[in-house]
Amino acid sequence: MPTYKAPVDDFNFLMWELHKIDQYKDWPGYADLDRELTTAVLSEGGKFCEEVLQPLNQVGDEHGCVLENGVVRTPPGFKDAYEQYCANGWNRLGSPETMGGAGLPGVVSLAFTEMGFSANHAFSMYPGLTGAAMAALAATGAPWMKEHIVPKMVSGEWCGTMCLTEPHCGTDLRLMKTKAVEQDDGTYRLSGTKIFISGGDHDLTDNIIHMVIAKIPDENGKLADDLSTVNFFMVAKVNVAEDGTLKDRNGVACGSIEKKMGIKGSSTCVLNFDEAVAYRLGPKPQPKKEGEKRSSAAGMKGMFGMMNAARLGVGIQGVASAEVAYQNGVEYANERTAGRALDGVKFPGQSADPIMVHPDVRRMLLMGRSFAEGARAVTTWVAILMSQMHHGKTEEEREFAADTQDLLTPVIKAFFTDMGFEVSNAAMQCYGGHGYVRDHGMEQFVRDARINQIYEGANGVQALDLVGRKLARNGGRGVMNYFAHIETALKECEGNEKLSAFAEPLRAGYQALGDATGWLMENAPGDRNHAGAGSVDYLRLFGLVTVGLMWLKMAKVAQEALDQGTDNPGFYERKLTLARFWMERMMPDAGACLARIRAGAATLMELDAASF
């Protein structure tokens, strides 16, 4: 049976020693925060994940969800676990106190989010999407929605979803056919089909609040072939009156649930909207005038915010996948015996040594841990930046925070989920044939992790977003300031021989990133296929350097702790070893990424379609 142990000590190290969150006492939610409080919250939260959610992980995979008489039934134990989850307040850690939440900053709620996804990916989808939908409604909804609907989503009484994809339309939202027709009372009647809707229907709550995008037809009933008439709508499973009382069942129904490769305990639904009562969120879009150029509709602003939050959340799922797969790989490697150590017998009293003695097994496991801890440092930092962009003391601080989290969003979503899958696959490899069968649960980790690279914008799309939009945004201000931040971190380590083993490889990777950025700026404008051909490698290069930046910073903190004397030297020595692994074994890939980027698009585009 698989196991899971929440990494509470690592989260505390990141919060209090690396990122030093005690310097933000004047920010909302941080004033009463101390190490004792975060330890208590994360320890209790980790215990819930370990003892309640994790034992249901394989149950959810074995049973899946079932559609019965138009209603989706979740796997055995999920409903009871959800009730405990909400009763204990784990669903509302980061929600404002004015809405019934605990008011803790995102850096704390993020930590619990990761632990939940490590323990039970499928279960954690339900409250995760609800949080994103709630935040979107709180930002864009009418006053009565904020008064009556948002608090029920905060409490967990009601869940939420995000409805974008249609059978014929995924990333290219211009092709949407779902329409919303305005009524005399200001509401809309929404009709169409949405697919791949996580948590689209289930038995955990009495009501589900769907956040939907649809087009508003013109006076002739025609739909525009662009995004100019797209808007963001709230559609409740059970209609809600403006005084908060429940009314009749709305015109939305689950047509089927997907038969999936993984996360089977999460209901992924086909939703059919048939004249469903819908409420427009945000300004009403105006039809595009002839000759007018528009990249998107103002009415989609709320959905864009929800999508970005969801992409960061999926990146955290990548870290969570790596953590739990790594943990189980280590447990097996210490127990399984096969062969003898290459440099001599280690356990002469046994017929064979544990496979942990073999360098390649250690390589796979160290890759997992160095990624998980390095990526966790990044997501924790970004959670702080998301507070800083609103509460930083200066305009410069707020601007840097906003630009950096915007720049890193596609990197976190794509690189972290790519690595989460790679780590899960490597951890399964440690098991040999036992990893391929279901008993140990490793093949489930691999199947579950694979979806992270696909949903909320496939990773290739994230790479195009980074290269095509994020680099050039605000005249390149964000990437230039981020590069300056890396330069500062490197400069702080100059002359410190103990840190040269970490600083020099990072500088080499950073140089490759700068060269790749320059090559794209010079070559992509003349042939946009160069951007498309190099974007995935560029994003991976960006991710390697970003995680490397965190490892340089962590190595600096760890070395200082050892130099000053600590009662836990093993913790900091392990940090240095993991940092060294990333620099020696992962950072060299930067050069390969740069070479592939410089190869350009010619070979990729040479063959005609019939020649493939």
Residue length of the chain:
612
**Helices 121-140, 301-335: crossing angle, 10 deg rounding:** 160
Question: Exposure of 612 by Cβ count < 10 A (0-12 exposed, 13-18 middle, 19+ buried)?
Answer: exposed
CA distances from 338 to 329, 366, 431, 609 (A): 15, 20, 11, 49
CB atoms within 10 A of CB 28: 13
Which of the following is catalytic: 456, 494, 497, 504?
Answer: 456
- Report which DSSP code applies to 585: I
From residue 93, how far is each of 13, 39, 242, 307, 308 by CA, in Å? 20, 14, 27, 21, 20
Which candidate, 553, 312, 559, places its Cα nearest to that of 411? 312
Distances (CA, A) of 383 to 154, 282, 416, 540: 20, 26, 15, 21
DSSP-derived secondary structure letter, 209: E
Report the C-alpha gap between 320 and 324 in whole angstroms. Answer: 6
Angle, CA 574 vertex, CA 571 and CA 576 arms, to 5°: 115
Residue 488 burial class via C-beta count within 10 angstroms: exposed 0-12, middle 13-18, buried 19 and up: exposed
* Cα gap 138→149, rounded to integer Å: 9
Residues 6 or more apart from 595 whose CB is under 8 A from it?
none
CA distance 207 to 159: 7
Spatial contact of 71 and 249, defined as CB atoms under 8 Å apart: no
Query: Residue 114: enclosing H or E segment and its boundaries?
Result: helix 106-119
Asked whether the beta carbons of 339 and 355 are under 8 A apart, the reply is: yes
Q: What's the one-letter identity of residue 346?
A: K
Phi, psi values for residue 243, rounded to 5°: -95, 5
Residues 283, 286, 288, 290, CA torsion sign: negative
Compute the distance between CA of residue 257 and CA of residue 72 in angstroms, rounded to an integer. 8
Burial class, 143, CB count within 10 angstroms (exposed 0-12 / middle 13-18 / buried 19+): exposed
373 is catalytic: no
Backbone dihedral angles phi then psi of residue 352, each to the nearest 5 degrees: -155, 160
* CA angle 141–144–146, rounded 5-degree value: 50
Rounded to the nearest angstrom, the gap between the alpha carbon of residue 23 and the centroid of all alpha carbons in its chain is 26
CA nearest to 117, candidates 410, 529, 416, 555: 416
Q: Which of 320, 410, 338 shows the shortest CA–CA distance to 116?
A: 320
Place of tokens 């370990």: 50
Instruction: Return the active site residues.
Output: 456
